[in-house]
Structure 1
């Protein structure tokens, strides 16, 4: 029997209050603002207005539960980046948006690279480190694989300073995995590249535009789907499983929150 393992980070609106001031601009990718319409309050009022009824006309005097979300990025929580997130042209062709991705492309053989032995906080993994992690799995990357990076960020409290000081990926590392055959590039870190403050500081020091968001911009050269803020990678074997990423079908967008699920045969 197939066992399902959830790889999706819970989207908890309470976390917004814990975001460090330096990362306040990231709030919309952590969780939305939520206006709760409780069955005994706004939910009841809404139903009374829609149906021109009184509270005593409703079971137990209650309406429905409903929530109104705001200030929520299409990149909130565990999400799939469409190629369009990296620019208008991918491999010289118009970039696909999230609704244009066939769901079959997001159902892949999975492979977990355990990057924990390589301490790369606030820095990018090297190709040599990525290759060593691949070798430890015992098989090469194959065409169509979902390659998932277990960075070790799981040991830190969400939104702590340590959690935001995550290891990332460079242009070279991203292209190394994508050209090896990886179609999905996943990480349990908050982002795929090095942290924004690190990239900004490097640009200020060097003036080199190539230091800005180079892991994502690499997708312009080789199409792949980046998935960030994954969760629970410790529950997976190194390989031998299927993984599916099921994004909301938001028309015309660069990404969508997704339910990421691994399928393991017992």
Structure 2
């Protein structure tokens, strides 16, 4: 019997108010702004206007429920990055957009690498840590499949400072997984690379621009699809399951929010 396990973060506009003040400009990647119309409230007025009648004419005196969603980033919540997100070219060719990726490429075998105890906040996940987690898993990376990184970040909420101080991936780590056959790279952290604040500080200290978003930019060398802000990885077995990473069809976009579901 197949069990469906939802790996998708709920998009709740109330989460926008939980962000620290300095991160409010990034609210659109955490949750959209939503105006709600309830059937007994403004939805009633909207429906009556659409039907060219009065609210007194409506059956049971109610209209429809509807929502107006705004401030909706293509990188909102649990989302799939297309190669265009990393740059205009990938493997020497024009980068693909989210609608260039077929569903077959996003329905694949997957494994979980348990990195808890092998990584640290605000620190790049080492290749040694990835190798150790792969050995502990015991299963190979599926060719063209997915690797899901369980860093332990899913235990934190937006009210926890630790949510924003996550382990990140480097160029070396990303290429290590891609070169072993992974096509989809997922994480329970808020981002794939280290946080913007950590990368900016490293650049200020060293002047080395290779530290800027090197995990994502590795996707220009080897085409991969990065999935961030996953949840519920604790409910998955180490291997032997498939995942659907199905984004909405957003034309010409570098990413799109997705409903990510494991079939165990």
TM score, norm. by length of structure 2: 0.98
Residues 82 and 226 in structure 1, CA contact (< 8 A), matched pair in contact too? yes
Q: Shift of the alpha carbon at 1:143?
A: 1.1
Q: Shift of the alpha carbon at 1:159?
A: 4.5
Q: Shift of the alpha carbon at 1:56?
A: 2.5
Match of 2:29 in 1: 29
Match of 1:156 in 2: 156
Q: Judging changes above 3 Å, is the alpha-carbon distance between structure 1 residues 241 and 27 closer, same or farther for their aligned structure 2 residues? A: same
Residues 19 and 158 in structure 2, CA contact (< 8 A), matched pair in contact too? no
Q: Judging changes above 3 Å, is the alpha-carbon distance between structure 1 residues 172 and 159 closer, same or farther for their aligned structure 2 residues? A: farther
SS of corresponding position for 2:121: coil
Residues 119 and 129 in structure 2, CA contact (< 8 A), matched pair in contact too? no
Residues 165 and 195 in structure 1, CA contact (< 8 A), matched pair in contact too? yes
Question: How many positions carry a matched residue from both structures?
Answer: 264
Match of 2:9 in 1: 9
Residues 168 and 191 in structure 2, CA contact (< 8 A), matched pair in contact too? yes
User: 5 Å matches for 1:45-124?
Assistant: 45-124=45-124
Structure 1 portions without partners, runs of 5+: none
SS of corresponding position for 2:74: coil
Q: Shift of the alpha carbon at 1:193?
A: 0.2
SS of corresponding position for 1:239: coil
In 2, Cα distance between the equivalents of 1:57 and 1:172?
66
Match of 2:260 in 1: 260
In 2, Cα distance between the equivalents of 1:252 and 1:119?
36
In 2, Cα distance between the equivalents of 1:98 and 1:71?
19
Match of 2:174 in 1: 174
In 2, Cα distance between the equivalents of 1:195 and 1:89?
24
SS of corresponding position for 2:3: strand
1:39 has 2:34 as partner: no
Residues 111 and 139 in structure 2, CA contact (< 8 A), matched pair in contact too? no
Residues 145 and 181 in structure 1, CA contact (< 8 A), matched pair in contact too? yes
In 2, Cα distance between the equivalents of 1:119 and 1:2?
32
Q: Shift of the alpha carbon at 1:107?
A: 0.5
Q: Deviations over 1:97-123 (max 9, x none)?
A: 011110010001010000002131001
SS of corresponding position for 2:36: strand
In 2, Cα distance between the equivalents of 1:159 and 1:179?
37
Match of 2:218 in 1: 218
* C-alpha RMSD of the superposition: 1.0
Structure 2 portions without partners, runs of 5+: none
Residues 169 and 193 in structure 1, CA contact (< 8 A), matched pair in contact too? yes
User: 5 Å matches for 1:131-150?
Assistant: 131-150=131-150
Residues 20 and 160 in structure 1, CA contact (< 8 A), matched pair in contact too? no
Match of 1:231 in 2: 231
SS of corresponding position for 2:64: coil
Q: Deviations over 1:180-211 (max 9, x none)?
A: 10010000000000011000000111111111
Q: Shift of the alpha carbon at 1:157?
A: 2.4
In 2, Cα distance between the equivalents of 1:217 and 1:45?
49
SS of corresponding position for 1:26: helix
